[in-house]
Structure 1
Amino acid sequence: MGLSEVSIAQAEAAHAIHPVATIQSELSLWTRDPLGDPTFDASEGGAAGAGTDPGGDLLAWTRDQGVAFVPFAPLGRGYLTGTLSADGFESGDFRATNPRFAADAFLRNQAIADEVARIATAHGSTPAQVSLAWLLRLAGNIIPIPGTRSGGHLAENLAAVELHLTEDEQVSLDQLPVAHGSRY
């Protein structure tokens, strides 16, 4: 069975009835809810979404249970690629009304994208590759599913498995500020 956006308690209840093979939840450098991230602060404009378990680390639970973890939106809905602008969304694009992409939040989140870009430059890689490499280094049971509309982006994303972040870079990424604005 696969589950989507569940808490640890929900995953345990389901796993007691039938083995859970996979859990899908949003996880990226700017959505760390499944990590039980203690830096989350709703007063700063963030909002805990489904999958948030302030009492624990859902990713660790999946690892300990032998369950695959499938993070969706691993590139922060494109924000972490460094290729978007706050006013560049087409009519009907979900991000145009998403709180994290509102002009004020977009600018406040720039420090996150800047650090990802700095590390990418040091490796001669792209911000998308750094974002995926960070995810892949978190645990061996992670299978990210970045969306793509081109073969070039697919090849770029696949090359992330070859990117080896240093310990200092991993720590720097781990310590990025929590994204401003709620997920939805």
Structure 2
Amino acid sequence: MQQRQLGPFKVSAIGLGCMNICHAYGAPVSEQQAERVLLGALDAGVTHFDTAALYGFGASETLVGKYLSPHRSKFTLASKCGMQGVPNADGVKVRVIDGRPETIKATCEEALKRLKTDVIDLYYLHRWDKQVPIEDSVGALSDLVRAGKIQTIGLSEVSAPTLRRAQAVHPITAVQTEYSLWTRNPEIAVLDTCREFGIAFVAFSPVARGFLCGELNVGAFDAKDIRRSMPRFAPENYATNLTLLPGYLAMANEVGCTPAQLAIAWLLHRGENILPIPGTTSLAHLKDDLGAANVKLDASVMARLNDHINQHTVKGERYNAQGSSEVDTEVF
């Protein structure tokens, strides 16, 4: 597996996002299947694992801790705080964005226990809580660095101005944001700001939440699948977006790779500081994703991909109104 720098850490060019094993795309897989995916990734050379307190309200961190902690020295561990499950009046956990320093520190302590580790290598603020100055949230993360609880700090779904404010408080190691052929928002300003400060850019949803793997049966999405609320998968928008697939699939065939590999390879070719973290519940899909590291794209293919799928050709916003209000990323 090719290697890239994630701040002070040298990691596999392609990491594993650990959300899918318990969260967001329908019913969680069995614990046995989660174990197979996590250990299969490690065996395949993945050394960058990314989880969060939010995923399954702690379930993902628990699984990562249970199955990967015996191999802790072999990989770089990333997790996130600032968005987690909190019991409501009925005792049911609901998602809450809370960037207060005391919450960040408490979440970290809980994460360390679930992950069965003494230190988290890279700890992100999952969402900027707009009720709390970014300086206060990053200050709390800085306290955790000094306490030896975490090694480095990351931010997720932030704009360039917010990143600059955070960087003034403590060096930021990585910014994590959705980035793929069909989500180009980072190209507005954040990618340039990351390069300016030498910050790694971690790209989640690199295969466009499955869209770039081939036609999806959107009507069969599980009731709890988060794509049901995403405008790009709404029937009218999805019908329009589907017209982009034949040309895209033809390019994958021309290059001699799978559609998923083409999507991830495009990201790898966009810059040495870009690290994709596809997620999956399938060992076959995992092997497919990792094969992208061996795909070479020339300038002509890159240009054609850029022209074919971009913010002008894709129909629909990436989040609904609520989701859009919760992030701080620039929009076209």
Residue matched to 2:301: 169
Residue matched to 2:317: 182
1:76 aligns with 2:211: no
Deviation readout 1:5-41 (Å, 9 max, x if unpaired) = 11111111111110000000111111000101xxxxx
| Percent of aligned positions that are identical | 40
Q: Please identify runs of 4+ aligned residues in structure 1 that moved more than 3 A.
A: none
Give 1:72's aligned amino acid: F
Shift of 1:87: 1.7
The structure with the larger Rg is 2
Name the CA distance, whole Å, in 1 between partners of 2:257 and 2:220: 24
Give 1:183's aligned amino acid: R
Q: TM-score, normalised by structure 2?
A: 0.48
1:108 aligns with 2:269: no
Aligned residues: 164
Shift of 1:94: 1.3
Residue matched to 2:288: 156
Give 2:187's aligned amino acid: L
Residue matched to 2:225: 93
8 Å contact 2:181–2:310 — kept in the other structure?
A: no
Give 1:9's aligned amino acid: P
Residue matched to 1:17: 169
Shift of 1:91: 2.0
Higher relative contact order (CA 8 A, sep 6+): 1
Structure 2, unaligned stretches of length 5 or more?
A: 1-152, 320-332
Name the CA distance, whole Å, in 2 between partners of 1:138 and 1:171: 11
Give 1:31's aligned amino acid: T
Name the CA distance, whole Å, in 2 between partners of 1:113 and 1:73: 17
Query: Residue 87 of structure 1: SS of its match in structure 2?
Result: helix
Give me the CA root mean square deviation: 1.3
Shift of 1:150: 1.1
Q: TM-score, normalised by structure 1?
A: 0.84
Structure 1, unaligned stretches of length 5 or more?
A: 37-56
8 Å contact 2:184–2:310 — kept in the other structure?
A: no
Shift of 1:169: 1.0
1:133 aligns with 2:265: yes
8 Å contact 1:73–1:145 — kept in the other structure?
A: yes
